[in-house]
Amino acid sequence: MARIIYVEDDALMGDIVKDILTQAGHLIGVIGHGTLAFETVAFKKPELVILDCGVPGMDGVQILEQMRRIPAIYLTPVLMLTARSSRADIERAMAAGANDYLVKPFAPEELVRRVAAMLSENDWRRKKI
């Protein structure tokens, strides 16, 4: 079980992802505003952060850029989960430090698989440090 923060301003999508990941055994909190989300991530230090690109306040990539500047959370894995599918959007997020990028709509089992892989990789990385 991992503690996950999902930054998403669409309540329906937030509920869908929360249900999928809760059924997979994780604790997930959904936050709809970028600035509040960043502050929460910095304070709570979850095991994984999932970001939508288009949230009010700080957008998902801005949140990610700020996370990568703070030593206590810079290694936190980040999955971008967004409807933005252009090469430029993907490259911007990956350059900012995203660990993975999944475009909406997505298959629930694909989300669960990617989350599990990211958490497993992060556990392995932390044991090496």
Helix or strand (DSSP H, E) at 30: strand 27-31
pLDDT digits (tens, 9 = 90+) for 48-76: 999 999 999 999 999 999 999 999 999 99
Does the pLDDT value for residue 6 go beyond 60?
yes
User: What Cα–Cα distance (Å) separates residue 68 from each residue in 7, 20, 74, 98?
Assistant: 16, 27, 4, 10
List beta partners, residue 82.
103
> Rounded to 5 degrees, what are φ and ψ at 6?
-110, 120
Q: Quick check: 48 and 79 in contact, CB under 8 A? A: yes
Q: What is the pLDDT of residue 117?
A: 95
Mean of pLDDT over the chain: 94
Domain spanning 3-128, CATH architecture: 3-Layer(aba) Sandwich (3.40)
Does residue 17 have a pLDDT over 70? Answer: yes
The residue whose two tokens read 């996370």 is 67
Structure tokens at 74: 């810079």
Average pLDDT over residues 39-49: 97
Task: Tell me how far apart the alpha carbons of residues 24 and 13 are, in angstroms, rounded to a whole number.
Answer: 17
Count of helices and strands (H, E) across the chain? 5, 5
Provide the whole-model pTM. Answer: 0.94
What pLDDT, in 10s, does the model give residues 93-129? 999 999 999 999 999 999 999 999 999 987 666 665 5
